[in-house]
Amino acid sequence: MAKSESVRRPTEADLEAAVHSAITSAFPSANIQIRHQVHFSFQMGRAPVELDGGQAWMKEGRADIVLFHEDRPLAVLELKRQGLPLTEADRLQGMSYARLLDPMAPLVVVSNGANTELYSTYDGSKWLPDGDEEKQLAGLINSAFKVASADIRKAAETLLGTDCRVWSEVVKASSAEKIDELSGDLASSEAPFAHDFLIPRNATRELLKELEHSCFVIVEGEPLAGKSSVLRELVDLAAKSDVFVPLYLEDGGRGYLQCVADALRRTVEWPFKAEDARSWLQSLTRGQEMKLVILVDDYRSDSEVSQRDLEDLVSIAQDGGFAVVIAMDDGLTESVIRSRNGRSLSSLGRISKRVTVGPLLDDEFESAVSAARSHSVRLMRGSFRSDDYRRPWIFRSVISKTKKGSFGAGLHGPEAPALLGVDFIHYVRENYEDSTLRHHFHELAIVTLDDYLRSGRSDSMETDATTTFLLRSEALKGLSVESREYLVGCGALKPRMFGDAHIFRIGFCEILVSELATVIAERLNNLLKSGAESPVEWLMSVAEMLPMGEIIAARAIVTTLQSGVDPIPLCTELLAQKPIHGVSSPKTRFAIKTVDLPLNDEDNNVELDDVSSAYYSDNVLPWITLSHVLAAYPLSTEEAGFFLQLHILMEMAKSEVTLRRPGTTAASSELLSQVMNDGTFVPGWNAGIIEPVTYAIFKTFRMQPSLGDAWMTMLGAMESAHLLVRTYTVLIELMRHGGLQGHWAWITSMEVLAPLLRDHPNIPTMSGSSVVVDVIE
């Protein structure tokens, strides 16, 4: 029992008793009322610092307390539990706190119960009353405002180097100020961050785990993958943490110690040099209660000077009590972790841990949807299976535009579209307005197209090149020296090996997609003007080879049509290229995993394991491309109005092939399908809109509500189960949008479509209730 008593932690009652004992011991003859305050605060430049002596007493058996007489600070009491020795550091820390109070406390009391010492805040000398103690104390209090500014700075510097409770508040204030400076409205593409909008990332949790054991972590990924947001999330988490404190810095090319110095200088508001930053960092020890984490965002250079600066900072971290996290585009990572000879790891590479930030994973996408809902924006069903929304910057841009009402409102308010189609390129051009960047990427688009059209790739490289832009090294000869240096320097051209072949993987692929659409539109226009044979066939062969080829081709066609080219021949030729399905063939480029959703399963809750099969299709891109074109550029003539639009969409909606190109994520490569009696598939209506043709029908109905009745009039004569199911998918989304059109969709689905679905011989037997879908999420 005695042993248990000896190791028990100090309590609040112990603290109160110790404070009263120290006051009595320090001022035995003073007949004045003295009160104490366990919680107190002061300013370190622009950073407010709050101290809780009670918490420190419970954890460490020591506390910093302010003693007051008539609401004026009299002394700072550095109180330690009995048995802990009094040190010079206690005196200096007490003096520093006293000088930073406003007004200054003239005395410092250092006590451990057994010994109590008093010091003058002015010069640190021992203070002993001479004569009337009460009168002397009153004189000290009245003259306390005369402390010199140099002494205040010295006090602040002392606390910044010795008390983690103080420097942690300064660092938090600096990071918060910098994040706020870089934040703007949701619609501000120039601002890296948006106020009140942050998508939690799994990479942040991985980063925290690595920081438990590592002093140097690289956060890498494609440009705009969300690396900066991972650092911002870490700063947000630190506000609730008493374990780590992040100092957020932008890489400004001034040297990292100078960046640290500049960040502290802005906050504490006194001159701070790189050597001061070095001294401060070297004073941090591993045994401190909180760990400093320096976050360097947007590493910009692979120069030797930058590497030496980084090596210097990390070497200090290895010996001290802090860690370094640096965010960089993945095109620059190798230059940091590899030695100059490229054969071995560099000193940084040997100690580094790497965290990769990629497209949004499924659970991250759900978090993004929640973040959108906090802005009163919802997403249409089907968006989960769109690769476009897995890019955080695209997601933010779409949510911003939706919030402004660009896409109309659903039943629950503004609702973002299920897929973006040609609008994807519009968002890219809105976000990448830098003319220099686009100039160099336009050059790159020209050589990329030529390289893709040139034969000689292996089958495996050709397959991989349909999902990732791969450029053979000899193609770089077509770039100007200026563009080559620019693109390599910014990480857009990343050297790789593909077997024995030297290639480059292209980063910033969104800009390349945009510029390829421009280059291909120019060539398509020239082919049309010259009367070349089958420009559309050439265009589709290009689209099949390129990542996002159907979007690039659709944008090229829209640009061509906007220049005044007659749309009917182009659209007619695309419509004539019907897709086919069946087993895999040597020409098959795409396969989609199908998951059967029985029509009598209203909830469509199925396990994906053991119920999936491969679905192959050929020649799907012409109709997919045409669907994107009609969604972006509706066809109408003076003579027939939108009849041509309806006719083309209805022909494509009869397709027994799923008109969807698989994406790069698992969700975009799966088809939640319903199997017809003849063995063909059609996307399940409860999965939402996932096909461009279905989205084009939806947009057409939203644009021209009167066209719905004309569509329904023709529907019965078409005798297509696939057309019926796709139409029903559209009606469900219209119901979810509510309003008069939603009411029309409800009545039409019950009175027109439900009987056609139940009676069609190719549609499996359904109960009457299975046609009625709950549209309320």
State yes or no: pLDDT of 290 exceeds 80.
Answer: yes
Same domain as 368, residue 334: no
Chain segment 367-422, per-residue pLDDT in tens: 999 999 999 999 999 999 999 999 999 999 999 999 987 666 655 678 999 999 99
| pLDDT over 90 (residue 72) | no
pLDDT of residue 33: 82
Are residues 404 and 501 located together in one domain of the fold?
A: no
Handedness of CA 356, 359, 362, 368 (dihedral sign): positive
**Does residue 659 have a pLDDT over 80?**
yes
pLDDT value for 301: 67
Do both 467 and 554 map to the same domain?
yes
Q: Averaging pLDDT over each range in 443-447, 586-590, 593-597, 632-636, which range is the top one?
A: 443-447
Nearest-angstrom CA–CA distance, 427 and 187: 12
CATH of the domain at 124: 3.90.1570
Instruction: Retrieve residue 316's tokens.
Output: 């200090």
Give the total number of structural domains in the chain: 5
Is there a contact between 661 and 551 (Cβ–Cβ < 8 Å)? no
Greater pLDDT, 581 or 360: 360
Q: Bigger pLDDT: 624 or 48?
A: 624
- Within-domain flag for 776: no
- The answer to the question of residue 447 being in a domain is yes
Q: Considering the domain boundaries, does residue 454 fall inside one? A: yes
Order of strands, edge to edge, in the sheet holding 107-111? 35-37, 62-69, 72-80, 107-111, 116-120
CB atoms within 10 A of CB 742: 18
276 in the same domain as 242: yes
The answer to the question of residue 1 being in a domain is no
Q: What HEC string does 606-674 produce?
A: CCCCCCEEEEEEECCHHHHHHHHHHHHCCCCECCCECHHHHHHHHHHHCCCCCCCCCCCCCHHHEEEEE
Instruction: Please compute the mean of the pLDDT values over residues 70-82 and round it to a whole number.
Output: 87
Considering the domain boundaries, does residue 2 fall inside one? no
- Are residues 401 and 457 located together in one domain of the fold? no
DSSP assignment letter at 86: P
In the numeric block, the tokens 């997403």 are attached to 379
* Domain presence at residue 473: yes
pLDDT at 3: 42
Do 604 and 731 belong to one domain?
A: yes
Yes or no: say if 357 and 329 are a contact pair by the CB < 8 Å rule: no
Q: Are residues 145 and 171 in the same domain?
A: no
198-234 per-position pLDDT tens digit: 999 999 999 999 999 999 999 999 988 999 999 999 9
- The whole-number pLDDT of residue 763 equals 86
Q: What is the pLDDT of residue 8?
A: 59
- Is residue 715 domain-resident? yes
Q: Residue 448: how many CA atoms within 13 Å on its side-chain side?
A: 34
Supply 434's token pair: 């830098």
pLDDT at 140 over 90: no
Query: How confident is the model at residue 769, as a pLDDT?
Result: 39
Residue 722 has pLDDT above 80, yes or no: yes
CA angle 287, 289, 294 (to 5 degrees): 90
Share of the chain above pLDDT 70, in %: 87
Least confident of 77-91, 280-294, 341-355, 666-680: 666-680
Q: In angstroms, rounded to a whole number, what is the distance separating the alpha carbons of residues 768 and 749?
A: 12
Q: Tell me if 343 sits within 8 A of 198, measured CB to CB.
A: no
216/348 same-domain check = yes
Polymer length of the chain? 777
Per-residue confidence (pLDDT) for residue 94, from 0 to 100: 87
> Which tops the pLDDT comparison, 617 or 81?
81
Q: For position 136, what pLDDT does the model report?
A: 76
Residues 6+ apart with CB under 8 A from 548: 424, 513
Q: Which residue has the tokens 């007490």?
A: 94
Same structural domain, 548 and 604: no
Calpha distance 431→397 (Å, rounded):
9
- Reported confidence tier of residue 428, pLDDT bands at 50, 70, 90: very high
Residues 424 and 382 in one domain: no
Nearest to 581 by CA among 544, 540, 616, 625: 616
Selection from 622, 659, 644, 450 nearest residue 541 by Cα? 622
Whether pTM exceeds 0.85: no
Looking at residue 156, its pLDDT comes to 64
- In contact, 708 and 740? CB cutoff 8 Å: no
Residue 480 has pLDDT above 60, yes or no: yes
Mean pLDDT of the chain: 85
CA–chain centroid gap for 369, Å, is 13
**What three-state secondary structure class fits 522?**
helix
pLDDT value at position 687? 83
**Residue 584: pLDDT over 60:** no
The CA distances from residue 48 to 36, 71, 356, in Å, are 21, 20, 35
Closest listed residue to residue 390, CA positions, set 346, 414, 423, 357: 357
Domain that holds residue 223: 163-357
Sheet holding 681-683, edge to edge: 580-582, 612-618, 590-596, 670-675, 681-683
Helices (H), 288-342: 304-319, 330-337
Q: Regarding predicted confidence, which is higher, 49 or 521?
A: 521
- Please state the rounded mean pLDDT for residues 23-36: 80
The residue from 131, 160, 189 where one domain ends is 160
* Helix, strand, coil percent values for the chain (each to nearest 5): 50, 15, 30
Burial of 296 (0-12, 13-18, 19+ CB in 10 A): buried
Q: What is the mean pLDDT of residues 637-653?
A: 87
- Measured distance CA(219)–CA(340) in Å, rounded: 21
| 562, 593, 609 - which closes a domain | 562
- pLDDT at 133 (0 to 100): 73
Residue 151: predicted pLDDT: 59
**Are 267 and 317 found together in one domain?**
yes
10 phi-psi bin (left φ>0, alpha ψ -120 to 50, beta other): beta
Q: What is the pLDDT of residue 184?
A: 94
Domain boundary among 357, 380, 401: 357
pLDDT computed for residue 771 by the predictor: 43
Say yes or no: 767 and 671 in one domain: yes
Rounded (5°) CA angle 460-466-472: 65
Task: Let me know if residue 3 belongs to a domain.
Answer: no
| Coil, strand or helix at 293 | strand
- List C-alpha distances in Å: 393 to 45, 224, 354, 517: 35, 7, 22, 20
Percentage, residues of the chain above pLDDT 90: 48
CATH number of the domain to which 347 belongs? 3.40.50.300
The count of other CB atoms within 10 Å of the CB of residue 122 is: 20
Mean pLDDT of 476-482: 95
Identity of the highest mean pLDDT range in 114-123, 184-193, 319-328, 552-561: 552-561
